[in-house]
Copies of this chain bind each other. A is one copy, B any other.
């Protein structure tokens, strides 16, 4: 029986690992790994998100963390059969530490651990009220007047931020802020979300009208409340906005809309923030213990400075302020940039009868949407995956189980296949003058996303419009200046324009910290996102995890949350547990590999 054999291989390693962990025998633990083995940990040992690469790093982590994490017990998860993949035997386990419980994943080759993932998914004594632990709802009658659910909610909403203070303040009511707030509600952590727009979801509503999610529905579920099975594959922006608005209500979130954050400062001694927000025109001072920026990877518009921007007589917009093509029928538009937004906006303008030029400044990675889904996403997130028993939770854990350095290596052959599969398409696109890449190391889209959050287009048809000339392409050219009537290039060409859209991306989230707290704090924290891969727009040193995301930063009480819907769902769990632990005063020993 092959399966039993696989499982016995996993059992052998897990037994040894569990035994060594309980004995706190660091030599024995380290000896179980391959020389270049990986250990990715989400809170269970390190109380941060960290990946140790190689035996010395693993040893250093254990020397710092094992004492506090223990006692540790490990047991194979018998509901998950072991499998073989990429030349390794893969197994799952349940793990319990002094403070929490979680799951784990390991890849074994020749009896040694190639990769290990350990996670903490709940804190002992603070388990979420789900399933058998859910609230009763109906109060049984007693001799005292009972507050109804509605009265309680209304009282909380009236008091929180005024007569009581939130433990956590989240800035930003997009998927990130709402997912985190929902997790914190379950953990009974008083939380306020401030959202500058009038309704949750408006950050989606306000985008160009043709926008749909570029990720498929199976990848996009919010925590607790999955989309129904009649939900479209690629959600239109207004539909996701409505969903988020309903979500905030259903999950009973304290979401302050039409509220902007004006300033924040941290009192080290008191261990709390003083945050001034303007709620519907009135300043309110909040004193949360923890401050989370969930202002969006795509929150801080970045517009290049170009000579003549004050001279141009037409309209200039950042892509985040471009409403759509309706006003531009028969007009001339230049879209600066060549990523997702640029392509979507160009296509919609062209459909609506505008004369559109895309100005590509640097090479761009393009993958056809269908191909991307078929060759990558659908393996874990699709109806097929579901029919194979790969639930969203399991898919998320499988995604998390691959360290980022290894991920780049594993993705290269996949993107080589993609390049071959769509060779005709790519040839035509390059023939049209499009500057194409597959990432500097050929590792493709997801790595580009993790490294820099930009540099790609998931093709839903605009590439064909570039190939056939419907969308005019100017690539490799540099803008010299804007004139009254258009864009003058360095090579002397002039592009007449009524509209210039800067689809030029976004700045790092720590820019928000500079604006709202101080440049000093922003500098202390350093940039958010990026792995330190040393590729374009992702300078080293190598970090092995996204910088400053979902984990402690160098500024006490300051956190960054964001990413796509998948990341908002998955990492909100770990961020919520970190915040809960601090609320409860649980002794948290954070590992700082940089120290």
CB-CB under 8 A from A242, the residues of chain B are: 249-250
Task: Check: A162 CB closer than 8 A to any chain B CB.
Answer: no
Known: A234-B136, A236-B138. A146 touches B229 (CB 8 A): no
A464: chain B residues within 8 A (beta carbon) = 141
Q: Which A365-424 residues have C-beta < 8 A from chain B?
A: 369, 383
Once A243-B250, A351-B141 are accepted as A-B contacts, the answer to whether A228 and B230 lie under 8 Å apart by CB is no
A57 to chain B, nearest CB (A): 38
Q: Is the CB of A347 within 8 A of B460?
A: no
Rounded to whole angstroms, the CA-CA distance of A136 and B235 in the bound complex is 8
Which chain A residues in 195-234 approach chain B with CB under 8 Å? Answer: 209-210, 212-213, 217, 224-225, 228-234
Q: C-beta contact mask, A116-150 vs B, less than 8 Å → 1, else 0?
A: 00000000000011111011111111111110111
Is A239 among interface residues, defined by CB-CB distance under 8 A? yes
Q: Which residue of B lies closest to A132 (CB)?
A: B383
CB proximity of A131 to chain B, nearest CB, Å: 5
A540 within 8 A of B: no
From B136, B141, B236, B465, contact of A148 by CB (8 A):
B236
**A322–chain B nearest beta-carbon distance, Å:** 14
Verify A134–B460 contact, CB threshold 8 A.
no
Task: Kindly list chain B residues whose C-beta atoms are within 8 Å of the C-beta of A145.
Answer: 351-353
* Interchain CB contact under 8 A, B130 and A230: yes
Q: Give the Cβ gap from A338 to chain B, nearest Cβ, in Å.
A: 16
Q: Is the CB of B136 within 8 A of A233?
A: yes
Q: Once the chains bind, are B460 and A138 in contact (CB under 8 Å)?
A: yes
CA distance A138 to B233 in the complex (A): 8
Is A81 interfacial (CB 8 A cutoff)? no
Interface string of A311-332 (1 = CB under 8 A from B): 0000000000000000000000
- Is there an interface contact between B460 and A210, defined as CB atoms closer than 8 Å? no
Whether a CB of chain B sits under 8 angstroms from the CB of A461 is yes
Asked if B137 and A212 make an inter-chain contact with CB atoms under 8 angstroms apart, the answer reads yes
Partner of A231, one of B134, B238, B249: B134
- Taken together as a complex, chains A and B put the C-alpha atoms of A134 and B213 apart, in Å, by 15
Contacts A/B (CB < 8 Å), 27 sampled:
A128-B230, A129-B230, A131-B383, A134-B217, A134-B230, A134-B231, A136-B234, A137-B213, A137-B217, A137-B232, A137-B233, A137-B236, A138-B213, A138-B232, A138-B233, A139-B212, A141-B350, A141-B460, A141-B461, A141-B462, A141-B464, A142-B461, A150-B238, A150-B239, A228-B250, A246-B246, A246-B249
